[in-house]
Amino acid sequence: LIKRDSCCNPLSMGAIKKMVEEEVPGIYVLSLMIGKSVVQDTENSFFMDVNEQVSFVCDQLAQDPKLKGGYNAMGFSQGSQFLRGVVQRCPDPPMKNLISVGGQHQGVFGLPRCPGESSHICDWIRKMLNSGAYTDTVQKHLVQAQYWHDPLNDDLYKKHSLFLADINQERVVNETYKKNLMSLNKFVMVKFLQDTMVDPVDSEWFGFYKPGQAKELETLQESAIYTEDRLGLAEMDSAGKLVFLATDGDHLQFTREWFNDNLLPYLH
């Protein structure tokens, strides 16, 4: 199972699907498309409520007889945290391994290199995020706002973030979310060390800015989500279920050899 991120992925999901099928003969690979066409899918990656996208995917998985015994999932960029929403909310069929490739699990605070080819869309997105990321209209209709995490306005984020604050247990601890995430065999997180798109890049390993400022960073292990174990990540870490991988490239830049050596073992 692959969650596409067509808005900002320099790699074709079709090429990834083909590569996996060549390396693992007989494997069934489902490349998720949100909408009825590639154009719709691209538009939805900017403008469709993420909670609706997660529900759409959950229904698609439940109706696929080839997945009823369980599946491995791989998300690219924002597709990673969306798939984490899937595992936390929809345990049937069961997700076995979640591979996050450049995902932003603590969100982003800035768009240094806006995803997409259209500069006017990027300029508009930046304006919306900077002026009112937590207004109901922007939250509902701009995907990037749904994982916008402003450390300078923590209360606003916790109260009004429709997607990220929910799946990261910022308001209440949903024990079902915790139980479902902990059912994974492995949660693999890939961080791109030269990433010029994700700010801060530590979000790819579930790290973020320390609360109340936007300069000093903290690791996942230093954060409240871990020390209070609000999501089960500390217990998963102790059990060896969290895998932190790093590669030197920019956002989503890796070689086939690196992919085969580091990620392919989790797809068997």
Catalytic residues: 77, 195, 251
Give the residue among 50, 114, 55 at the shortest CA–CA distance from 79. Answer: 50
45: left (phi over 0), alpha (psi -120 to 50) or beta: alpha
Dihedral angle at the C-alpha atoms of 129, 133, 136, 137, nearest 10 degrees?
A: 0
Beta carbons within 8 Å of 153's beta carbon, 6+ residues apart: 134
Distance (Å, whole) CA 145 – CA 7: 15
Q: What angle do CA 53, 267, 96 make, to 5 degrees?
A: 60
Q: Which long-range contacts (CB under 8 A, 24 or more apart) does 234-240 make?
A: 235/182, 236/181, 236/182, 236/184, 236/187
User: How many other CB atoms are there within 10 angstroms of residue 182's CB atom?
Assistant: 18
Q: Are the C-beta atoms of residues 170 and 158 closer than 8 Å to each other?
A: yes
Taking each helix axis from N to C end, the angle separating 78-89 and 175-182, rounded to the nearest 10 degrees, works out to: 110
DSSP, collapsed to helix, strand or coil, labels residue 200 as coil
